[in-house]
Chain A
């Protein structure tokens, strides 16, 4: 049987099984492939490092449980870095499915870093309206979010006493899975209100955001699990993203091999048909 015939007759479930094993085994037996930070990841890290201690940072966490493996590690590492810079963090959510998940992550990291809710950080929760909310925050953040995630009056919280609109924030961190997300923040907020933006996004949306990075509209960017793992490496952390990168690398090699063999098989079949 030729390569073309055998590859075409291969049951797709064998490919599923091999992919599954290549993902499962490195999670049980880590290989610890080396990681090196790429320029966008280093720029993301350096942008936070350059913030004056005590700055207020607006963090928009626009993701849901479906993108948790990519965006949760970068959210945790970003919060840790911001808290260690003694930054005040104001969290908002514009993605409907993520309010509870984001609150759980924020509370967990805040507890770990002994931060006080309402003083060092606040989660203002979810607000429907997409771009309209982004523009409204340019006029008044407490106006757009009158109550926090727990229903408290936002204007009475100590952290919100110095927060009026984007001009009160030293930086916007956009962690997003799609719409509304980083693209909309660049379009609606960067040009109008001139606040520096850094972004952490899923790998699917990363290629569409590179032009913003090149023009400086984004100061730094984490793309997918690899971006999150490189960021963890820069922060000397061994989180979920770093632990997943061995599996990621092996699965990519296998898929690349499948593409090469698939093309070779097609080429052989066409050559035989022509002969």
Chain B
């Protein structure tokens, strides 16, 4: 392998910042702190600009300008199927959120929050009921004998794990006797689940490290 360093100045900046962040693994230092603060500042700026152009301009300003440009005679052209003028209502609700800066009128922001919470609660409740409640309960009802030993054993393990894990979260009675034994089995299944979750989390974090090393070796140093 021979190095072919990148001629791109941006790649050099990214490599330097990556090494500054890695320096924290030795100990906290000014290079790490500068890079961390730079990241926070750049991210905040990026998201403000992105949301200005993709939310305020694209979703509000452009449609409203289109509604009031006079091409359809009146901005209230609902009879032509043009509902853009109603965007004034969410615009007003959005402005009301800033009333929190005025202590006397801060309560007005609750109207906007009520709309946001109401809409999202409605969307989430129906979606959750369909996909997580009904579909999961339906999927949990399995035949215990399928005609094949492997899948039958799987179905038994699944059913025992499901029932005992649910019993572990039943707190209306003290976990003693049969309920205590069942909930202890449930703990075993929960531990297996946490272990799998931990393993996947380690994989994700190591992937990030691999990604940075691949960038340093192949994109920055150009090792081939």
- Do A and B bind? yes
Interface residues of A (CB under 8 A from B): 13, 16, 19-20, 23-24, 27-28, 66, 68-70, 96-97, 99, 125-129, 131-132, 135, 146-147, 184, 186-188, 190-192, 202-204, 206-207, 211-212, 214-217, 223-226, 240, 243-244, 247-248, 251-252, 255
Would you call B208 an interface residue if the criterion is a C-beta within 8 Å of the partner chain's C-beta atoms? yes
Q: A132-B119, A211-B139 are in contact. Are A203 and B204 (CB under 8 A)?
A: yes
Within B22-76, the residues touching A (CB, 8 Å) are 25-26, 46-47, 50-51, 54-55, 58-59
Would you call B94 an interface residue if the criterion is a C-beta within 8 Å of the partner chain's C-beta atoms? no
- Complex A-B: 22 CB contacts under 8 Å: A13-B25, A16-B25, A19-B206, A27-B214, A28-B1, A70-B204, A127-B58, A128-B55, A131-B120, A184-B127, A187-B128, A204-B200, A207-B193, A207-B200, A215-B138, A217-B131, A224-B207, A225-B210, A244-B211, A244-B214, A251-B202, A252-B206
Q: Give A128 to B130 CA distance when docked, in angstroms.
A: 24
Chain B contributes a number of interface residues (CB within 8 A of A) equal to 44
In the complex, how many residue pairs between chain A and chain B have their CB atoms under 8 Å apart? 130
Question: Which of the residues A70, A184, A191 comes within 8 Å of B130, measured between beta carbons?
Answer: A191
Instruction: Report B-chain residues with C-beta under 8 Å of the C-beta of A188.
Output: 123, 127
Kindly provide the distance from the CB of B134 to the nearest chain A CB, expressed in whole angstroms.
Answer: 8
Q: A128-B54, A187-B130 are in contact. Are A28 and B200 (CB under 8 A)?
A: no
Would you call B135 an interface residue if the criterion is a C-beta within 8 Å of the partner chain's C-beta atoms? yes
> Is A96's CB under 8 angstroms from B210's CB?
no
> Interface on chain B toward A: helix, strand, loop, or mixed SS?
helix
Question: Which of the residues A125, A186, A251 comes within 8 Å of B206, measured between beta carbons?
Answer: A251
Q: A28-B223, A131-B120, A192-B130 are in contact. Are A224 and B200 (CB under 8 A)?
A: yes
Instruction: Report B-chain residues with C-beta under 8 Å of the C-beta of A224.
Output: 200, 203-204, 207
Would you call B136 an interface residue if the criterion is a C-beta within 8 Å of the partner chain's C-beta atoms? yes
Q: A215-B136, A215-B138, A217-B131 are in contact. Are A69 and B208 (CB under 8 A)?
A: yes
Q: A96-B47, A191-B127, A191-B135 are in contact. Are A244 and B210 (CB under 8 A)?
A: yes
Would you call B197 an interface residue if the criterion is a C-beta within 8 Å of the partner chain's C-beta atoms? yes
Instruction: Report B-chain residues with C-beta under 8 Å of the C-beta of A211.
Output: 136, 139
Would you call B153 an interface residue if the criterion is a C-beta within 8 Å of the partner chain's C-beta atoms? no
Q: Given A96-B50, A224-B203, A251-B202, output 14 extra A-B contacts at Cβ < 8 Å.
A: A13-B26, A20-B209, A70-B211, A96-B51, A135-B123, A202-B204, A202-B207, A215-B135, A225-B207, A225-B210, A244-B210, A247-B213, A248-B206, A251-B209
Q: Give A126 to B1 CA distance when docked, in angstroms.
A: 40
> Is A70's CB under 8 angstroms from B127's CB?
no
Q: Give A190 to B120 CA distance when docked, in angstroms.
A: 18
> Is B123's CB under 8 angstroms from A131's CB?
yes
Interface residues of B (CB under 8 A from A): 1, 25-26, 46-47, 50-51, 54-55, 58-59, 119-120, 123-124, 127-128, 130-132, 135-136, 138-139, 193, 196-197, 199-204, 206-214, 217, 223
Q: A204-B200, A206-B200, A224-B203 are in contact. Are A190 and B131 (CB under 8 A)?
A: yes
